[in-house]
Structure 1
Amino acid sequence: MSDIKTVWKIDSGGWVSETGDLTSGDDLDTAIFISLFTDQQARADDTYDGDDRRGWWGDLGEDYRIGSRLWLIYRQRLSRDTAEKARDYAREALQWMIDDLIAGSVEVTYRIVYPSTLYLYVTIEQPDGSKRSVEFDWAWGEIANAV
């Protein structure tokens, strides 16, 4: 049995259905999406708006946290520093794959297309040597730089 297939569709949701059923498969992609786009609770030294540190209630008291801190940079101006934070947050969120021996290595790189797009490239090398690469992009503008 496989998981529901989660796909990167920034404008219309995250699941695909075929013939009335949710599509299944691509468990590694689903794990990457959940790791990157579930909001991890902000740390005590993180800067964020308001009092909501986000996170998943099931993580309370656990050493391991699901998700990433990418949400912390959504309102920051697109810059090299912001892109480097995004890369670092993504690496941090995917580290569990190495720790749990799902991946032999995880590589995250970025590219900025000024004035308004940030690309993150994730390459997972599995223990058998096969590689899976995924690309994510964000339009940095009305939402990301809202004041």
Structure 2
Amino acid sequence: MADNHLSNDEFFSRLTDLFEHSRKKGHGSVYLTQKRLSFDTTSAPPSPTKILDDPLWDTHPENPLPVLIRASNNSSSKRKGTDREDIDKIKLSTVVQPEQLDAFYARYAEVGKAGMSGLKKRDKKKKKKDKKKKKAGE
């Protein structure tokens, strides 16, 4: 499974493309997730010793663990009743080693901010008016 992960540089270039693709379509979402790997894929699984007094004993590994970063556009097949075109789901993932986390997150923030630059603010007033009309019509 580790073979499917992109290098950090390739992940950033593909993530930038994913944001651009989403912006060009005028709709769509980009989902970013991250989680700690339960063990380093390059070594054997850890064998933590359970400490009776500590309920979170497995959160204190002997060595720092890598982080798995994922991005997807969460697109799927065409939904009934929508005029949106059928878009394939795009999934990206990379593994960040503990010693690279600071540099990775700095660049991750830059790419994320750049990807959000074209977003429009939601029009909350319109939703409130629609709700009032529905209540008045009932």
TM-score, length-normalised on structure 1? Answer: 0.30
- Structure with the higher fraction of residues in helix conformation: 2
Q: State the structure with bigger RCO (CA 8 A, min sep 6), 1 or 2.
A: 2
- Structure with the higher fraction of residues in strand conformation: 1
> Which has the larger Rg?
2
